[in-house]
Amino acid sequence: MIPSARFNLRYTPTLVAVQTNRGSEEHILTIRLLIGIARKTKQELYIAIIDYQKAYDKVNRRKLIEKVDRKGCGTMFLMAMQRSMLSIGTIGNKQFQTPSGVKQGAVSRRHGRDGLYSTALQSSRMIYNPYQYPRSPPQRKLVRTHPCVVGLLVLAFIFILILLIWLAISWVMIQQLQSGLGEVAAAAAAAAATGSAAAANLAAAAANPAA
pTM over the 0.85 mark:
no
Residue 82 near residue 108 (C-beta atoms within 8 A): no
Do 37 and 4 belong together in one domain? Answer: yes
Do 112 and 160 belong together in one domain? Answer: no
Per-residue confidence (pLDDT) for residue 165, from 0 to 100: 92
The answer as to whether 148 is a domain residue is: no
Do 73 and 45 belong together in one domain? Answer: no
Output the DSSP codes for 133-176.
Answer: S--PPP-PPPPPPPHHHHHHHHHHHHHHHHHHHHHHHHHHHHHH
d(CA 49, CA 24): 9
d(CA 103, CA 81): 12
Do 72 and 108 belong together in one domain? Answer: yes
Do 64 and 116 belong together in one domain? Answer: yes
Number of domains in the chain: 3
Please give the C-alpha separations between residue 122 and each of 35, 68, 74, 79, 187, in angstroms, as whole numbers. 19, 11, 11, 18, 91
**91: number of Cβ within 10 Å:** 4
**Secondary structure of 5-26 in the HEC alphabet?**
HHHHHHCCCCCCCCCCCCCHHH
For every one of its 211 residues, what pLDDT tens digit does the chain have, with 9 covering 90 and above?
Answer: 344 555 555 555 555 555 556 555 666 777 788 888 888 888 887 776 666 556 556 666 677 777 777 777 667 666 666 666 665 555 565 655 665 665 554 434 444 445 455 555 554 444 444 444 444 444 555 556 667 777 888 889 999 999 999 999 988 888 888 887 777 777 777 777 776 666 666 666 666 655 5
The answer as to whether 167 is a domain residue is: yes
The answer as to whether 141 is a domain residue is: no
Do 8 and 27 belong together in one domain? Answer: yes
Q: How does DSSP classify residue 210?
A: -
d(CA 80, CA 97): 16
The answer as to whether 146 is a domain residue is: no
Tell which phi-psi region holds residue 90, choosing left (phi > 0), alpha (psi between -120 and 50) or beta. Answer: beta
Domain range for 1: 1-49
The answer as to whether 34 is a domain residue is: yes
Do 73 and 8 belong together in one domain? Answer: no
**74: number of Cβ within 10 Å:** 15
Per-residue confidence (pLDDT) for residue 174, from 0 to 100: 87
